[in-house]
Amino acid sequence: MAREKRTYAQEVCVRAAGLAMQKAAMLRPGCRVGVAVSGGVDSFVLLKTLRIRQGIVPFRFEIMALHCNPGFDARAHAALLPWLASEGIPGHVEVTEHGPEAHSERNRKRSACFRCAWLRRKRLFDLCRQYHLTHLALGHTADDLVTTFFLNLCRNGRVDGLSMRETFFGGGLELVRPLLLVEKKHVSAAARQWGLPVWGNACPSAGHTARSEMEATLRTLSGAIPDARRSILRGLTRWQLARHAVATADAASRTDDAGASG
């Protein structure tokens, strides 16, 4: 069967995801990956990209879409199930009250975004246990890596960002971000070209968060300093690759030491 011809943006997504998966040793034969699908371009492109990579990698792995509707519009995800059926991807879809609860008087201690994200992450972890998934894939991009880095630095005094791979529950679940080396502009273009049924964000806080404020600040910085955005992206993605190279080497060394002592 002939390979589907891909555009430049689509190829960037597929190839960069493959690089991240390889460098961070994200997947292994037989793993079961839950893909958190919010309905935005990032998570949809991640799902499509992983579907394509199933036919590229030299081993078998499974994917399953996980969608937790936050509850602002219970019908927002209507196009998701038909699309999953057309792609042959199993999925779990449910409507929650995470959004309204996070914006209610019951949530006094944390921001609405923090509370909603926390509830969603907790539910996704529960679903991974329910379906015996070994991995949870999130659609963060290189732009999210930059924004998170500066949020941590400016608001928390920490030099930290998003990782391509993290372990939870004593290694029982791995959280992976295959698109972390891909710029948002390529993700957005690929989503349009694939005709993905992306839907809008009905959250009343959309566009009025600390993250959106930092994104605006970074746009101002990029406008003031030539090539600032490109240099920041390049530096932080190299940093991520170096971190995972060291982690992979350490893990290999521990395995070798364990074998020698045995």
Q: What is the CATH number of domain 8-261?
A: 3.40.50.620
At 144 the pLDDT is: 93
Every domain of the chain and the residues it spans:
8-261
**Spatial CA neighbour of 128 closest among 81, 178, 167, 76:** 167
Token couple for 11: 């190829």
Neighbours of 107 (CB within 10 A): 16
Alpha-helical segments (H) within the chain: 8-23, 41-53, 80-87, 98-102, 112-130, 142-151, 184-194, 210-224, 228-261
Over residues 167-187, the pLDDT tens digits come to 999 999 999 999 999 999 999
Counting as low any pLDDT under 50, the low residues of the chain are 1
At 256 the pLDDT is: 56
Largest CA distance in the chain: 59
What distances in angstroms separate CA 18 from CA 49, 139, 143, 192, one per listed residue? Answer: 9, 14, 18, 21
**Spatial CA neighbour of 33 closest among 74, 79, 90, 84:** 90
Strand order from edge to edge, sheet including 32-36 = 91-95, 62-69, 32-36, 135-137, 173-176, 165-168
Q: Is 198 helix (H, G, I), strand (E, B) or coil?
A: coil
At 207 the pLDDT is: 74
For residue 144, give the amino acid letter: D
At 1 the pLDDT is: 38
At 100 the pLDDT is: 86
Give the pTM: 0.89
At 204 the pLDDT is: 82
